[in-house]
Amino acid sequence: MSRELLLNTVLALLLLALPFGAFALDEPFYIDLATRMVVLGLAATGLNLALGVGGLVSFGHAAFFGVGGYVAGVMATHAFNAEPIFAAPFTLSATDLMPVIWIAAMGLAALVALPIGAISLRTSGVYFIMITLAFAQMVYYFAISWPAYGGEDGLALSVRNALPGFDTADSLTFFLICYAMLMAGLAAFTILRNSRFGTALEAARQNEIRLAAVGVAPFRVRRAAFVLSAALTGLAGALYAELNKFVSPSMLSWHMSGILIVLVILGGVGRLFGPVAGAMLYVFLEFVLGGLTERWQLFLGLILLGVVLFARGGLVGLLAGKPRHG
Amino acid sequence: MAEPLLQIRNLKKSFGALRATNDVSIDLRPGEVHALIGPNGAGKSTLMHLISGFLKPDAGEILFDGQDITGIDMPGRARLGLGRTFQISSLAPDFSALRNVMLAVQARQGSSFRFIRPVRSDPSLIEPAMAALERTGLGARAQIPAAELSHGERRQLEIAIALALGAKAFLFDEPMAGMGPESSKTLTTFLDRLRREAPVLLIEHDMDAVFALADRISVLVYGSVIATGTVEEIRRNADVRSAYLGDMP
């Protein structure tokens, strides 16, 4: 067993143990804290596909996170009021079934990512960062100026959506649902990275001229990765809305894009459990330091500085050493 | 005489006031090694970039296998069968030598958009890639990351990649640069046999290798071809002697 696999197993078990500990202590709030780690970890795993494997520093992933969140929120609202989502030109009825909402969230996030990626990926470096940011801000202002779903105030979910056979209102049950989705997301990440597509994507990051010289257009590979990455982050967005029973434009704002990047860097860029480790540390700091001072992000900044200066591989790099390539 | 596989007609490329490629017309015939020689800055690598599609010409046309490929980009030309190496090795540094070649194998199979099956245990990628590595003498170095290979080994790896692409024509930009005399000799023997598989357009400064290998030589000076001919013709050519070979026996 390699050190990284051992570390990943420990992290996965620790994360799984947290809410049970909280349950035993009868502290349901801590269960939601663990769920927050899981959901943010999944969102950042989506980003890790673009940023870590593909080297695409997207500063606009909040757009996909928020789109996923709004899919869950809008569906829940319409389903609760027993109204169709729209009636013309055909009737699209709402559902409160989580699996349908998850697929819709991934699908819509991917659909939004397709034009954003097609345009942004014609640039690189700082320009790519800025264009993805600009697109995400467009989605943000669109949400603010659309009064039907709460505009600036956001949209509350009266009840969580349903998963047959599970009591989604129960914190521990909902944690387990999210945890299962995180594991599925990590499995998808692994499979993609190990596939021919993943090979081409990694080659595009390492040396795009080499990829072009063997006959594969780097742009097409990156665009597909961007869309897949957005879908995964969109799925996390839907779970995030369910967790908070609330969705607002803040999910779409550039702060959120920044947090997702921070999670990936804290944990370890391109490492399977990097985003999970990053999310665990981030939520922990947010809770512990946030309880001490409102200015807790100052300390987060210092930690981030330390990681960038002294531990380029993030937490996973620090604990498990350099990645092994084959 | 056999129809040329690759024809370059009146190709022009300028960088500002510098005419890097000035009305160049050359061709590559089946089964031959055609060497491009010329002093530094003569525009040899620029010409290689124009043929592989890395640069776009200002004017002129390139025909390959009977098709006008002037408007096709580098990935498209690679798929048609132009396999090139770079003057400065261009590899995926984190990948092992084997995975660098496996990338070429999957590109040749047109399968870079398969998302499920892991590559590490895929014999349809590994076997052709290992075969290409062994042909270039890198079989024992398959698992070493490209970044840790020696300079000469990287040149060999670039050739292995071009082999794995199943190229119909090879464009080799100074494959012997940085190699010791032993490796240069081995590579000369290798290229001598390679021409039977596909013709080679070769940029090389090692004149022993050029004179040993080339069926024809074109001499490029200031972006223009001043002479094309057999080794003997080029040796005798007065313009070439004064421009380039002046100090040679």
- Same domain? For B49 and B114 the reply is no
Residue B27 lies in a domain: yes
Are B224 and B24 spatial neighbours (Cβ–Cβ below 8 Å)?
yes
At A266, list the tokens: 């804290």
Spatial separation of the C-alpha atoms in residues B125 and A152, rounded to whole Å: 53
**B94 and chain A in contact, CB less than 8 A:** yes
Are B165 and B83 spatial neighbours (Cβ–Cβ below 8 Å)?
yes
Cβ within 8 Å of A, B 128-187: 143, 145, 161, 165
Rg (C-alpha) for chain B, rounded Å, is: 18
Spatial separation of the C-alpha atoms in residues A51 and A281, rounded to whole Å: 19
Looking up residue B66, the CATH number of its domain turns out to be 3.40.50.300
- Same domain? For B12 and B74 the reply is yes
* Gap from A196 CA to chain B (nearest CA, Å): 5
Spatial separation of the C-alpha atoms in residues B80 and B82, rounded to whole Å: 6
Spatial separation of the C-alpha atoms in residues A68 and A111, rounded to whole Å: 11
Q: Which of B150, B148, B146 has the alpha carbon at shortest distance from B161?
A: B146
Q: Give the pLDDT confidence of A214-261 residue by residue, as tens digits.
A: 999 999 999 999 999 999 999 999 999 999 999 999 999 999 999 999
Spatial separation of the C-alpha atoms in residues B56 and B72, rounded to whole Å: 9
- Same domain? For B101 and B144 the reply is yes
ipTM value, please give it: 0.92
At A187, list the tokens: 């499995």
Chain A residues contacting B, CB < 8 Å? Answer: 191-192, 194-200, 202-203, 206-207, 209-217, 220-221, 224, 325-326
Residue B193 lies in a domain: no
Give kind and range of the element (H or E) at residue B14. strand B6-15
Spatial separation of the C-alpha atoms in residues B156 and B149, rounded to whole Å: 10
Spatial separation of the C-alpha atoms in residues B141 and B157, rounded to whole Å: 10
Question: Measured between beta carbons, which residues in chain B are less than 8 angstroms from residue A326?
Answer: 95-96, 98-99, 120, 143
Residue B194 lies in a domain: no
By C-alpha distance, the chain A residue nearest B160 is: A214
Q: How many residues make up chain B in this entry?
A: 249
**B120 and chain A in contact, CB less than 8 A:** yes
* Gap from B83 CA to chain A (nearest CA, Å): 7
Question: Measured between beta carbons, which residues in chain A are less than 8 angstroms from residue B94?
Answer: 202, 206, 325
* Gap from A324 CA to chain B (nearest CA, Å): 9
* Gap from B135 CA to chain A (nearest CA, Å): 19
Q: Which residues of chain A have pLDDT under 50?
A: none
Give, in degrees to the nearest 5, the angle at Cα B197 between B26 and B48. 35
Give the pLDDT of residue A31.
96
At A25, list the tokens: 């202590």
Question: Measured between beta carbons, which residues in chain B are less than 8 angstroms from residue A191?
Answer: 115-116, 118
Taking the CA atoms of residue B136, residue B140, residue B146 and residue B150 in that order, the dihedral angle to the nearest 10 degrees is -80
At residue B32, what are phi and psi to the nearest 5 degrees?
A: -110, 160
- Same domain? For B175 and B249 the reply is yes
Question: Measured between beta carbons, which residues in chain B are less than 8 angstroms from residue A216?
Answer: 75, 107, 112
Are A173 and A167 spatial neighbours (Cβ–Cβ below 8 Å)?
yes
For β-strands B224-229 and B67-68, DSSP reports them as: unpaired
The 10 Å Cβ neighbour count of residue B181 is 10
B75 vs A326: CB contact, 8 Å cut-off?
no
- Same domain? For B55 and B178 the reply is yes
Q: Where are the beta strands (DSSP E) in B152-193?
A: 169-173
- Same domain? For B70 and B118 the reply is no
At B95, list the tokens: 């990948």
Question: Measured between beta carbons, which residues in chain A are less than 8 angstroms from residue B167?
Answer: none
Residue B18 lies in a domain: yes
Are A170 and A88 spatial neighbours (Cβ–Cβ below 8 Å)?
no
Burial environment of residue B66 by CB neighbours within 10 A (0 to 12, 13 to 18, 19 or more): exposed
Which structural domain, as residue segments, surrounds residue B115?
Answer: 87-166
- Same domain? For B91 and B67 the reply is no
Burial environment of residue A157 by CB neighbours within 10 A (0 to 12, 13 to 18, 19 or more): buried
Sequence-ordered alpha helix ranges (H) in A25-124: 28-48, 61-81, 98-120
Give kind and range of the element (H or E) at residue A326. none
Q: Count H helices, E strands: chain A?
A: 13, 4
Closest CB to B74 among A202, A213, A325 = A213
- Same domain? For B133 and B184 the reply is no
Are B157 and B93 spatial neighbours (Cβ–Cβ below 8 Å)?
no
* Gap from B247 CA to chain A (nearest CA, Å): 37
Q: Which residues of chain B have pLDDT under 70?
A: 1, 244-249
CA distances from A153 to A61, A85, B3, B39, B179 (A): 21, 20, 73, 70, 68
A215 vs B79: CB contact, 8 Å cut-off?
yes
* Gap from A127 CA to chain B (nearest CA, Å): 22
Q: Which of A64, A30, A1 has the alpha carbon at shortest distance from A228?
A: A64
Percent of chain A that is helix, strand, coil (3-state, to 5): 75, 5, 20
CB pairs under 8 A between A and B: 107
B114 vs A200: CB contact, 8 Å cut-off?
no
- Same domain? For B91 and B125 the reply is yes
- Beta bridge partner(s), residue B6: B28, B64
* DSSP 8-state code for residue B162: H
- Same domain? For B76 and B149 the reply is no
CATH level 3 topology of A3-320:
ABC transporter involved in vitamin B12 uptake, BtuC (1.10.3470)
The 10 Å Cβ neighbour count of residue B88 is 10
Domain count for chain B: 2
At A95, list the tokens: 């559902």
Residue B246 lies in a domain: yes
- Same domain? For B68 and B178 the reply is yes
B100 vs A210: CB contact, 8 Å cut-off?
yes
State CA A154 to chain mean position distance. 20
Are A240 and A260 spatial neighbours (Cβ–Cβ below 8 Å)?
no
At residue B33, what are phi and psi to the nearest 5 degrees?
A: -110, 120
Closest CB to B112 among A192, A216, A325 = A216
Give the pLDDT of residue B249.
44
Give kind and range of the element (H or E) at residue A246. strand A246-247
Residue written as token pair 């984190």: B94
Identity of residue A48: N
Give the pLDDT of residue B247.
52
- Same domain? For B161 and B177 the reply is no
State CA B221 to chain mean position distance. 19
